Amino acid sequence: MESVICDLCGDNHTKKLWTTSDRWTKTGQRFDIVRCLECGLVFVNPRPDKNEIERFYPEEYSPYHRSKKIRWFLKKNFQLAREVNILRKFLPEKAKILEIGAGGGEDLAFLRDRGKWLTEGTDLSPYAKETAQKEFRLNLTLGQLEEISFPNESFDLVRNKYVLEHVHSPKSMIGETYRILKPGGRLILWVPNFDSLSRMIFKSYWEGGEAPRHLYSFSKKTISEYLKYKNFSIEKIEQSVIPNTFIHSFRRILEDANMPDFILNFFRIENPLALILFFPLSILAALARKSDRLLVIARKPL
C-alpha cells in the first residue's frame, strides 16, 4: 500500500469521506475514500501500488468478457450505435483509433466494423488480450499507455471509456494521450460522475466508487481541470441517462442486507424490468445535470 498526494494539484491535505471494501475479491480489506481540500479531487488513499493492484482484477472481472446477450443488444443498438454517429461527424473512414483499456475488445471491434476505422487497443490483462484475439481478431498491446511508447502524433482519436479512474496517475495518462494524438485529434472519454444523484443517494454504496479498482472519482470540475492543464479544448461534456449505476448501487444495499438470490437477481442490468424501474430516475438525474456518468470530447489544438 502507498500513501499519495493529490494527482491533480499536488496538495496533501485531504478529508476522509468514507471507508469501503472490495466487492469483487472479497478479501475484507478496507479502503479510505478521501477528497482533496484544495481542488476537490476524490481518490483512494492509501491505495495498492502498481504491483499490488493486479490482484484486484481477477479473470472473472466483467470487462474482460463478452457482454451477455440482452446487455450486448442494448449496448450495440443504443450506446455504440450512437457513439458511431457522433464519431462520424469528425472522423473519416480509415482514421486511426486507439482504445485504452480495450478489455475483451467488443467495443473496439464494433467501431472497426461499423465505422470502417483503423483500430488499435491496449490493456493490462493477458486474459483480455486472449479474449480480444480469439473473439474479435484484435491484437491488443499489453501494458500501461505511458510504457508502450506509441509514436508521436499517430492517432486521430483516443478512446478512454471508464479507464481513467483506474490508473495511478490520470495526469500522466492524459499527458501521454496528448502526445500521441495528431494535431486536431480528439479524446473521447467516459468517467463516473462523483457529483451524481446516485452518489448522493447511495453514498458509500455508490457503484461508481468501486475501490480499489476505481482509484479516482471525477466531477465535471475536476475532469475539466485535468484536460485544461494539457491545453485540450473541451468540445462537449454530456450527461448520461443510463440507469446501470442506480441498479448496481441498490443491489449492493440488498447484498449487505443478505437478501435472497431471487431478489438480488432481479436487480441486474440484464433484466429489462430493472432498467425500466430505474430509467425515470436516471432521466431526472440527467436533467438536473447530476447523471451517473459523464461523456467528454476534447480536442488537441491544430
> How does pLDDT run across 115-141, given as a tens digit for each residue?
889 999 999 989 899 999 999 999 999
| List of E strands, the chain | 14-21, 30-36, 42-44, 96-100, 118-123, 141-142, 155-161, 181-192, 216-217, 233-239, 293-299
Q: What is the CATH number of domain 14-56+144-299?
A: 3.40.50
Task: Summarize the confidence of residues 46-51 as an average pLDDT.
Answer: 94
> How does pLDDT run across 165-222, given as a tens digit for each residue?
999 999 999 999 999 999 999 999 999 999 999 999 999 999 999 999 999 999 999 9
How many other CB atoms are found less than 10 A from the CB of residue 155?
Answer: 21
252 within 8 A of 168, measured Cβ to Cβ: no
Q: Is 302 exposed, middle or buried (0-12, 13-18, 19+ CB in 10 A)?
A: exposed
Cα–Cα distance measured from residue 82 to residue 80, given in angstroms and rounded to the nearest whole number: 5
Cα–Cα distance measured from residue 299 to residue 37, given in angstroms and rounded to the nearest whole number: 29
174 within 8 A of 226, measured Cβ to Cβ: yes
> How does pLDDT run across 230-257, given as a tens digit for each residue?
999 999 999 988 899 999 999 999 999 9
Between 279 and 57, residue with greater pLDDT: 279
| pLDDT score recorded for residue 27 | 78
| pLDDT score recorded for residue 67 | 62
Cα–Cα distance measured from residue 65 to residue 132, given in angstroms and rounded to the nearest whole number: 9
DSSP 2: B
The one-letter code for the residue type at 91 is: L
Average pLDDT, the chain: 93
Q: Is 14 exposed, middle or buried (0-12, 13-18, 19+ CB in 10 A)?
A: buried
**Lowest pLDDT segment from 38-47, 211-220, 266-275:** 266-275
| pLDDT score recorded for residue 267 | 94
Task: Summarize the confidence of residues 38-47 as an average pLDDT.
Answer: 98
Query: In the predicted model, is pLDDT for residue 79 greater than 90?
Result: no
| pLDDT score recorded for residue 166 | 96
State the pTM of this model. Answer: 0.92
Cα–Cα distance measured from residue 129 to residue 17, given in angstroms and rounded to the nearest whole number: 36
Name the pLDDT band for 35 (thresholds 50, 70, 90). very high
**Checking phi first, is residue 179 left (phi over 0); if not, alpha (psi -120 to 50) or beta?**
alpha
Query: In the predicted model, is pLDDT for residue 60 greater than 90?
Result: no
